[in-house]
Chains A and B, each alone.
Chain A
Amino acid sequence: MARSERKQLIACLLVLCAALIPTPSLADDAGLVLSAEASHKFSKQLTAGFEAEFRSRNDFRTADRVSLGPSVTYKLLPWLKASVDYNLLIDNNREDITYQDDGVSYNNWRPSYWGVRHRFNVSLTGSYKFNRVEVSLRERWQYTYRRTRVIDNFDFDNGEWEDHEVRGKGKNVLRSRLQVEWDIPKCKFDPFASVEFHTTRDLEKTRFIVGVEHTIKKTHAFKAYYRYQLTGSGSDEPNIHMLGLGYTYKF
């Protein structure tokens, strides 16, 4: 790719990101995503790994989630791979405040609490390489289950703490991610950008990511990225800016 073409491509990517990412608001949150993964290639087709991740929110001040779990990826075709993974999610669920009809007086307050969920993912990723630019589309079916549990809830009407049952439920989400990666010759950093949609019956989340990856001797891979997560109108969660740092050890 000629130098001028590279510049054009970078410019196009930047314009695309700028167009897709909505204007951030002062009410937006900010957090961190840290991940570490170990993976082993058993054959040309089969790779297995184990990943741990930590997230924060509330402008980096509050732990949001810890997750860990194994994954298995199988390359079906040179351009198509399938993966299955499980994640144990330990969430710091945000507080929930409800108000009386006047919209001012408190009705109930459920403080934040730590809870456990189980997540299963099945993914298919198709990719195509244009020279040094690889475009991939990943379709992921995500099923998350939580068990019923009882937590504290303060009822302002009754003026007392009460047991509140959080019912167990399973949730299916279709995640569609379009990603562009660029392998720049003689450059130690490979930039990438993606947009991902989380869909149930409605669009629940949209994630915009731009970042770079750096690999050392095909064994150590570092990733740094910025992620903006836009939540759907049906969610109480704020939109969030996230800084991500990831490390992968391949053996």
Chain B
Amino acid sequence: MMRKISYGLLAVALAMTTASCVNDDTDMDDIIAQYQVEPVNIELDYSELVEAADVPITDEADSAYNDYVENSSWNKVISIHYDGNVANVTGSVPGVIVQASGAHVTVMNMSGPVKFVVSGTTADGSLKFYGDKRFQILLNGAAITNPHGAAINNQGSKSLYVVMADGTTNRLKDGATYTDVDEEDQKAALFSEGQMIFSGSGELAVEAVGRGGIRSDDYIRVRPGTRISVNSSGLDGLRANDGIILDGGVINILTTGAGAKGVRSGGVMTVNGGRLVAISQGDCRIETTDGVVDTTACAALYCDTLVTVNAGTIKLKASGDGGKGINAKQHVVVKGGTIQAVAVGARELKKPKGIKIDGNFSITGGNLYSYSRRSDPLDVSGTTTVAPGYVTYSLAPKVLTIAY
């Protein structure tokens, strides 16, 4: 009897031991899969973009009227042709003084609208403008490198129309170190104190190694048909203090500098069309001022005020430590277009986020995709309004998708 009981107990024990092979972990496979999803691929895109015709505003009462180069008369023309270490200047306009020192050209414009046709190549040259008159630079196959500062520097506060001549590729490059002049700014390879309006179907390629790529202390407007690319290992790619308006064009920006922004607007940023691809790869920039340490992360798009997207395509990617796809200090309003914001950077000094908005966020149309590998895809400090009527609304741990 006892033997039977013993064998019975032994059999039960062996059976239970054999059965003890189940893992008691929580089933995390599906959950982890949501956290390990890869983002859409975002890379610089130089392909052709079919855009609606760019129709200049003809209503003089329109605040944008003066942004159209077509609305001014350009019968005053001066040509500047770079040829190595010299610059050949042809044409003269009363009230305009052009001085060339080697290939470094300085223009004093006290006349009305003047068109400067710039062409040729120099590895040690520049073009600087003074005068509070609006003017046009027609880039007609120019390649200007200034090892000592900005390639083009406009110290005037009036409109600068930068027109890329059809079929031309134009290159501007600054130097690693700038030789500054007292009480004069030169903040980028292409710098203007006044507003800059880009147009023309040619191509502009800016390489910045010292400071920014393109910068205005006023605002920047980019018109349809324009092709601009900026590769900056220094500071921001495209920056304007008082606002950026993208009406169209193909814009590609790559920044690799610490804390650099692909596109940075101090004023209202409005996107009405075109295709913008901005990739910021820099890690955090750490600065100490008066003993106070400031850590700044990179962002593909950074705006101090309102961002409004009405149409167009914006593809943004930040891959540096704490980098943001969009970092908006106030509100973001999406009414149309396509936005893809991706943050794949490390999370050491700062949190990387696809979209970070300190104000309110509202979307009433278009397509939005935001991805954060190491944080939430959308971080809104204020209110979030998603208007009804969307086709897709999907919020996963790392991805937000909204489509109308």
Within the assembled complex, what's the spacing in Å between the Cα atoms of A34 and B397? 44
Q: How far is the CB of A51 from chain B (nearest CB, A)?
A: 15
- Cβ contact within 8 Å between B28 and A62: no
Least CB separation from A155: chain B residue: B374
How distant is A198 from chain B, measured CB to nearest CB, in Å? Answer: 23
Question: What chain B residues lie within 8 Å of A57 (beta carbons)?
Answer: 24
Indicate with 1 or 0, residue by residue over A47-60, a CB within 8 angstroms of chain B CB atoms: 00000001011101
* Complex contact A95–B25 (CB within 8 A): yes
> Which residues does chain A contribute within 8 Å of B26, judged by CB atoms?
95, 97, 109
Residue of B nearest to A56 (CB): B20
**Interface contact A58-B9, CB-CB below 8 Å:** no
> When the two chains form their complex, are residues B28 and A158 in contact, meaning their CB atoms are under 8 A apart?
no
Whether A224 pairs with B9 at a CB distance below 8 angstroms is yes
**Cα of A2 to Cα of B23 in the assembled complex, Å:** 52
Q: How far is the CB of B168 from chain A (nearest CB, A)?
A: 45
B373 touches A58 (CB 8 A): no
Q: Are A112 and B24 in contact (CB under 8 A)?
A: yes
Q: What 0/1 pattern do residues 123 to 160 of B give for CB contact below 8 A with A?
A: 00000000000000000000000000000000000000
Interface bracket on B: 20 to 34
Assuming the A-B contacts A214-B2, A245-B9, are A111 and B20 also in contact, with contact meaning beta carbons closer than 8 angstroms in the complex? no
For B2, the chain A residues whose CB sits under 8 A away are 188, 214, 216
Contact indicator A63/B21 (Cβ below 8 Å): yes
- The size class of the interface chain A forms with chain B is 20 to 34
- Tell me whether A157 and B374 are in contact in the complex, defined as CB-CB below 8 angstroms, given that A54-B17, A222-B9 are known contacts: yes
- B6 at interface by CB-CB < 8 Å: yes
**By the criterion CB–CB under 8 Å, are B374 and A106 in contact?**
no
Q: How far is the CA of A106 from the CA of B19 in the complex (A)?
A: 31
Prevailing SS type, chain A contact patch: strand
Return chain A residues, CB-CB under 8 Å to B347.
157-158
Residue of A nearest to B375 (CB): A157
Query: A234 to B177, alpha carbons, bound, how many Å?
Result: 61
**A249 interface residue, CB < 8 Å from B?**
no
Task: Check A154 for interface membership: any CB of B closer than 8 A.
Answer: yes
The distance in angstroms between the C-alpha atoms of A154 and B29, with both chains bound, is 11
Q: A222 to B22: give the CA distance in the assembly, Å.
A: 28
Across the two chains, which residue of chain B brings its CB closest to A243?
A: B16
Residues of B close to A158: CB separation below 8 A: 347, 373-374
Measured CB to CB, the closest approach of chain B to A182, in angstroms, equals 19
Query: In the complex, A199→B142 CA distance in Å?
Result: 82
Question: What is the distance, in angstroms, from B32's C-beta to the closest C-beta of chain A?
Answer: 6
Whether A222 lies near B13 (C-beta < 8 A) is: no
18 additional A-B pairs beyond A60-B16, A156-B35, A157-B374, beta carbons within 8 Å, are A32-B17, A54-B17, A60-B19, A60-B20, A62-B20, A62-B22, A63-B20, A95-B26, A106-B31, A111-B25, A111-B28, A112-B23, A154-B35, A156-B397, A158-B373, A158-B374, A160-B36, A224-B9
Interchain residue pairs with CB less than 8 A apart (29): A56-B17, A56-B20, A57-B24, A58-B22, A60-B19, A61-B20, A61-B22, A63-B17, A63-B20, A63-B21, A95-B26, A97-B26, A105-B397, A106-B31, A109-B28, A109-B32, A112-B23, A156-B35, A157-B374, A158-B373, A159-B35, A159-B36, A159-B373, A159-B374, A160-B36, A188-B2, A216-B2, A222-B9, A245-B13
